[in-house]
Amino acid sequence: MAAMRTHRRTPSRQAAWRALCAAALAGTLALLTACSDDSPSAQWNDGKNGSGQEQQQDSGPKQGGTVTSPAADATDVPASTEIAFQLENASNPSIELKSESGETVEGALQEDGKSWLPGGALDYGTKYTVTVNATGADGKPTSNSSSFTTMAKPTKVVRVSSFLGENQVVGVGMPLIVRFGRAVPEDFRDDVQRRLFVQATPQQEGIWHWTSPTEVHYRPKTFWQAGTKISYRMQTGGLPMGDGYFGRADVSVDVKIGPSFIMTVDNKTKKMTVTKDGKVIKTIPVSLGKKSTPSASGTMVVIEKQRKTVFDTMDDPNPANRYRTPIDYAQRLTWSGQFIHAAPWSEGVQGRTNVSHGCVNVSMAMGAWLFGQTRIGDPITVKGTEEKLENGNGWTDWNMSWDQYMKGSAIPYNG
């Protein structure tokens, strides 16, 4: 049997092998020592955290816009909702709103740049997706979306209406008048007022003023400029109005201001001065209320015009004030019954003596002339009588100073 051969390294080859291993070990130790400082960026990272889960790499500060209201996946959202959002390290926001069927909703950013209002009430019981687009601080576009669903159509609604009709031409003192079919609780009036928009061309400073829980007026700081074009919109469809009620619909109206036609009556002279577009065009003798039934001093506007009517006060408790008289060219100034009208029975004393029951008496000829010149909303100021006009007795918006008028707004005025 042949002997087994055993291979052995010679001493010189073994020494070389040991030297090679020692060198490799030294290099490894040196590498580990170099990576053992306290800097997190220098620590060993195998792409996993302590639990063996993948770590996400930090891509820098968050950028873009997010919707803050309505909340993501919110339901029962009012159809009047506006979209509130916030930006983080981004600018130039734009909003896209689409229904579940893909229909795009038009709208516009609000003045504060923090919210976006649809152009009208949204459809009831409909899912919408809103996307906030913006430009990140790095100049790259960003986009974030969320969805919400509007409420079912409400059964308790409030009718909102405009006193003025479409394309009506009115006087320079005409307030814009919005009426509500139900009283608006005080806590809700600021929300309602924020949905009342007025666009005047040329632009003029103005404000809303609540005359009652069911009526709000708008007037400029001074009389409207002649020829002004006005578009006003009540975006109240689906808007919460308290006690579970919601606005029934949106309403929009366009009107125009006619020439500046202003009447001023001075009790001292017993004359009416008529100014048209800044020029005096007529001086008219008048007779005002006698001492027992004085005319009211203050600024009023023409509320309504009746070519023929009958003044009937037979229910007055004072027999001396009872009468039933046919009247021509009647123009109402107050709810209590102060008019401009033709009074042929007082023509002999007009310009000299007050004999009326509080109205502004003019001759038949001047009554006809005035009736043909005036429009609803033309202002008249009566001065120097024994009684002051009570605010609310007619459209007395101009009987208040601008400071007084501003106090009737549900939203503080910033000018």
Sequence-ordered list of residues with C-beta below 8 angstroms from that of 400, at least 6 positions apart, any chain? 391
DSSP states along 157-181: EE-EEESSPTTEEE-TTPPEEEEES
Contact 410, 190 (CB under 8 A): yes
The 10 Å Cβ neighbour count of residue 261 is 23
Local structure of residue 356 (DSSP, 8 states): B
Among 80, 21, 109, which Cα is nearest to 240's? 80
CA distances (Å), origin 55, targets 48, 58, 61, 409 = 6, 9, 17, 56
Contact 142, 94 (CB under 8 A): no
Distance of CA 283 to the CA centre of its chain: 42
Contact 196, 234 (CB under 8 A): yes
| CA atoms in the 13 A half-sphere facing the CB of 148 | 26
**Could you list the active site residues?**
341, 359
Which residue's entry shows tokens 């004393």? 349
Can you tell me the distance from the alpha carbon of 203 to that of 200, in angstroms, rounded to the nearest whole number? Answer: 5
Among 274, 276, 340, 270, which Cα is nearest to 302's? 340
Which residue's entry shows tokens 């043909």? 372
CA distances (Å), origin 292, targets 205, 320, 324, 347, 356 = 41, 10, 18, 20, 10
Pairing of strands 251-257, 168-170: parallel
Sequence-ordered list of residues with C-beta below 8 angstroms from that of 232, at least 6 positions apart, any chain? 162, 176, 196, 197, 198, 199, 218, 252, 253, 255
DSSP states along 251-275: EEEEEEE---EEEEEETTTTEEEEE
